[in-house]
Chains A and B, each alone.
Chain A
Amino acid sequence: SQELEQSPQSLIVQEGKNLTINCTSSKTLYGLYWYKQKYGEGLIFLMMLQKGGEEKSHEKITAKLDEKKQQSSLHITASQPSHAGIYLCGADRNQGGKLIFGQGTELSVKP
C-alpha cells in the first residue's frame, strides 16, 4: 500500500470552479510539501506546511495540514487554465528533507 495517498488521481473542472486535492499519510509527518509539475518538467514549489493545523495561501491556492499532521489538502479557488498540471504532495518523515511522494493529481481546467 502507498505510504502517501493522493486523491483524486485526475480532475477535470470548468474554469472558475473551486477544487480540492487531498494527500493522506499513514504516519505522522515532519513536513508536507506541495508542488506543481508540467508533464516532463521539473517541480515548482508551491507551499510547505509543518505545524499541525497550519494553513498557508498564495494567490488562489490554499494548503492546510490537519492537527495530527497526517492529512493535507490543497484548495484552488476560481480555477484558471494556468492552474492545469500535475499536483504532487511530498512528505518529509524525519526532518532530513528526504521526501516520499504521492502519485500525483492531474488537473485539467476547461475554458
Chain B
Amino acid sequence: EADIYQTPRYLVIGTGKKITLECSQTMGHDKMYWYQQDPGMELHLIHYSYGVNSTEKGDLSSESTVSRIRTEHFPLTLESARPSHTSQYLCASSGSDTIYFGEGSWLTVV
C-alpha cells in the first residue's frame, strides 16, 4: 500500500484567500508530482520535483507554486485563490517502477 498522504481532503474557501495543500510520503522517493483533475476530465501535470530544492513546472500552466525543502514533503500553494482554481489536486511520488498517488485534495473556491 502506498504511503503518500494529502491534506486537506476537502476545502472550501473564499476568493482571494491563500491556501496550501500538503503532500507527504514516507517511502523516501526523490521524484514527486502534482496533477490537476477537473471533474470528468483528464489529469494534467502541473508541477514536479526530482529532489530537494528542485522544482519544475509541468505540462499544464498553473498559478500555484510548490516547494521541496524536505524529501518527504511537497506542498502546493495558491497565493490568491480564484473560482477557476476549483478542481481536484492529486499528489504522486515515484519509486523504481511504480508511481503512487495520494487520495487527492478537492478544492472549491467560492
**Interface residues, chain A, with chain B CB atoms under 8 Å away:** 31, 33, 35, 40-45, 48, 50, 88, 90, 96-104
- Interface majority SS on B: helix, strand, loop or mixed? strand
| CB <8 Å contact, A98 and B42 | no
CB-based nearest A residue for B50: A96
Q: Chain B nearest CB: distance from A88 CB in Å?
A: 7
CB of B94 within 8 Å of the partner chain: yes
| CB <8 Å contact, B42 and A103 | yes
CA A98 to CA B99, docked complex, whole Å: 10
**Interface residues, chain B, with chain A CB atoms under 8 Å away:** 2, 6, 31, 33, 41-45, 48, 50, 58-59, 88, 90, 92, 94, 97-104, 106
* Chain A contacts for B106, CB-based, 8 A: 40
CA A104 to CA B94, docked complex, whole Å: 21
- Once A35-B101, A45-B98, A48-B98 are accepted as A-B contacts, the answer to whether A101 and B42 lie under 8 Å apart by CB is yes
| CB <8 Å contact, B97 and A48 | yes
Max count, chain B CB within 10 A of own CB: residue among A40, A48, A100: A40
Further 17 A-B residue pairs, CB within 8 A, beyond A31-B97, A48-B99:
A40-B106, A41-B103, A41-B104, A42-B101, A42-B102, A42-B104, A44-B101, A45-B100, A45-B101, A48-B97, A90-B43, A90-B99, A96-B31, A98-B33, A98-B58, A99-B43, A103-B42
CA A35 to CA B37, docked complex, whole Å: 15
Q: Chain A nearest CB: distance from B82 CB in Å?
A: 21
CA A86 to CA B89, docked complex, whole Å: 17
